[in-house]
Amino acid sequence: MARLFKYKRGLSQVVTTLIILVVAVLLTSVVTYYATNITMTRTQQEEVRITKQHIWVNVTGAVAGFKIHNLGGRDILVDKIEVRSVDNSWSSVYYYRLPSGTEVIGDMNITSPNKLNGTSVTLYGRTYNQSQRDIPLASGGVLFVYVKNPSNIALDDLGTACSITVFTVNGQYIVETMVESLTP
C-alpha cells in the first residue's frame, strides 16, 4: 500500500502557478471592466463645436461672427473669447441663444460694427444681447455670436488666416478663418 502512495502525484508547481495567475488575471479583468463601465456611464463629456466662422473688416472696423454648438452631455460656461489670440471684453460680444428645437439654415449674416450698439440689437430677425459676463450654454444649445471690433484686426489683414478661440471652464476650442471684406 505504501508503494501506491509513493507514485501518486498531484499537479506540478508550474501548472498550479499558471492556474493561479490565470484566475487572478480574469478576476482583475472583470473588476476593471465593471469599474470602467460604472464610471463611464456616470460621467458626461464636454464637446463644443464652432462653425460658420467669419471675420469681416472694412474702414469702419471689424466684426467676427460664429456659431457655438454644445454637443456634449453637460452644460458649459463660455468664459472667454479670443480673436487672433487677443482677449475681447464682454461688452464687445453680442450673442443670440437659438430656441430649443429650432433648425439653423444658412450662414452668418455680414454685419457692420456700426450695427452693434447698445445692450440689445435686432439683426436679421434675431435679437442679440450684449454680454456682461460669462455665457452659460445648456447641453444641445446653440449660440450665434458677433464680436465687435476685435482690437487686432485691421484692413491690412484682408486675406489673412486668423483664429477664433472659445474658452470654457474645462477646455478651449479653436477654429481658423480668412479675414473677408465687409464691403461687397
Give me the phi and psi of 5, to 5 degrees please.
Answer: -70, -25
CA atoms within a 13 Å half-sphere pointing along the CA-CB vector of 119? 2
CA pair distance 60, 145, nearest whole angstrom = 20
What are the average pLDDT values for consecutive 10-residue runs of the chain, which has 184 residues?
57 82 92 80 78 94 95 91 92 93 82 91 92 93 94 90 93 94 81
The pLDDT value recorded for residue 162 is: 94
CA pair distance 174, 96, nearest whole angstrom = 20
Nearest partner of 128 among 138, 116, 120, judged by Cα: 120
Angle (nearest 5°) at CA 132 between 63 and 112: 20
The pLDDT value recorded for residue 45 is: 79
CA pair distance 83, 88, nearest whole angstrom = 7
CATH number of 48-181: 2.60.40
CA pair distance 4, 18, nearest whole angstrom = 28
Domain segments of the chain as ranges: 2-42, 48-181
